[in-house]
A = this chain, B = another copy of it.
Amino acid sequence: MSKKINRRDFIKTGTVTGLAATMSRNIRLFGKDDRKVRLGFLGLGNQGTSLLKMCLSMEDVEVLALSEINNEKLRNAQDLVEKSGRKRPEGYPGEEDYQKLVTRDDLDGVFVATPWLWHTPMTVATMRAGKYCAPEVWGASSIQECWDLIEAYEETGMPCMMLENHCYDRSNMAVLKMVREGLFGELIHGECGYCHDLRGIKFNPGVQFGPGARGEAEWRTYHSINRNGDLYPTHGLGPIANCFDIDRSNRMVTLTSTATKSRSLQEYIINQVGRDHPNAKIKFKLGDIVTTVIKCQNGETIMINHDTNLPRPYSNIYVIQGTKGIWMEHRALVNAIYLDGKSPEEHKWEPFDKYYPEYEHPLWQNFLNEGVRGGHGGAGYLKSRAFVECVKRKIPTPIDVYDTAAWIAVSPLSEESIAKGSAPVEFPDFTRGMWMKNKPIFGLTGEY
């Protein structure tokens, strides 16, 4: 597994064991054969437990090993597995135990749902141990992190699939189908973002964060204190990157980022506990809004918004615009489309829902037929299932290490641009030029 390979070799020779080129396209979405997928989990907080539950709903999944430093959370997770009728999985409570877990010889794949700073070392360790790895979404802390992932993949051939659920959103998949069928003409511009009032996540309970705080307040808040950039770009960028064929005949070339002042987190603290509380003295580096504009090799632009401090309803924005039309979504507010020469009235929006009957993605057609389930409107299930399905078939995952690296690279690049007064900064080419030859891999079938 130490031989350097590239993705094309992986696909061509099927380095792992199965052969993508000869795999059956007839297996249904939720495979009914006898093969079992043997999984381990690193991190069993809210997100890890949610992933675990979805996997436990799959009959072809065995859960053999769980790693979590909080003993109560670990026990709860072990209980969940047992209650599902499976054998109680082995628990790994030590901080460095993930090394032991990933080197077990009875696992096929590992989910990673730990704090962001652990994603890369754990994912690299998993790949180097010869297993498929599915890290939850994050933004990189450095460009070196991205290269670490790339190198681990290229040396082992083991797939790394960041679990970007929004790639699996129903509307995003339908839009991707429409893009590929040319309904928007030549793509020109995209917009997206992560607009999510996280004040109650960054501080919980009250204005607490760090050791002893609840959930992500234990660790996520430090990023807002110490970093100024788009810390969480992939919920927006992932689906847009799929539409724009990023690293598959196109690539992101440069970006500029601009941050506002930071006001809202401090105001949130002061409003609750007054100016004299020690947390009210913290100077948060993270600007309340960070706006990033990416220029692509083929001449398109992508605007990404990062907005996690201010009070507002959730949105991932989502605009796809081409020479023949435009689609715009703000969750729970608007989902509209205009197609030149196809929309019945000139210059007038249509509800996007009208297009589902004709442009539902096959994966969602199957999912709707078989019953939508799981978190995030079903997308959380689909992403987990896609990973399990690929592990089972021993085929490349539909989001790969190059997608993962390029998308999470936005964080350190935006930090660099902001630090340099919004100067343009260049994306590394993680594909080493292969973007010119690589073909799209996401959303190609109705099966995963």
Contacts and interface: CB of A to CB of B under 8 A. Distances in A.
A298 interface: yes
Contacts of A242: none
Given A188-B263, A189-B289, A293-B293, A311 B324 contact: yes
B338 A334 contact: no
Contacts of A291: 189, 293, 301, 303
Contact of A332 (B313, B330, B348): B348
A3 interface: no
A188 B347 contact: no
Contact of A333 (B254, B293, B336): B336
- Please tell me how many copies of the chain the complex holds: 2
A218 interface: no
B326 A310 contact: yes
A321 B315 CA distance: 14
A175 interface: no
Contact of A186 (B197, B263, B422): B263
Given A289-B321, A313-B347, A313-B348, A254 B303 contact: no
Given A313-B349, A422-B424, A303 B303 contact: yes
Contact of A310 (B307, B323, B333): B323
A258 interface: yes
Given A334-B330, A424-B421, A293 B188 contact: no
A210 interface: no
Contacts of A336: 333
A349 B424 CA distance: 35
Interface string A95-124: 000000000000000000000000000000
Contacts of A311: 323-326, 338-340
A304 to B, nearest CB: 11
A261 interface: yes
A137 interface: no
A314 interface: yes
A306 to B, nearest CB: 11
Interface string A327-344: 010101110101110000
3 residue pairs, one from A and one from B, having the closest CB atoms: A261-B299, A311-B340, A189-B289
15 contacts: A185-B267, A188-B288, A256-B258, A256-B424, A258-B295, A260-B301, A263-B299, A288-B323, A289-B321, A295-B422, A312-B338, A314-B347, A332-B349, A333-B336, A423-B424
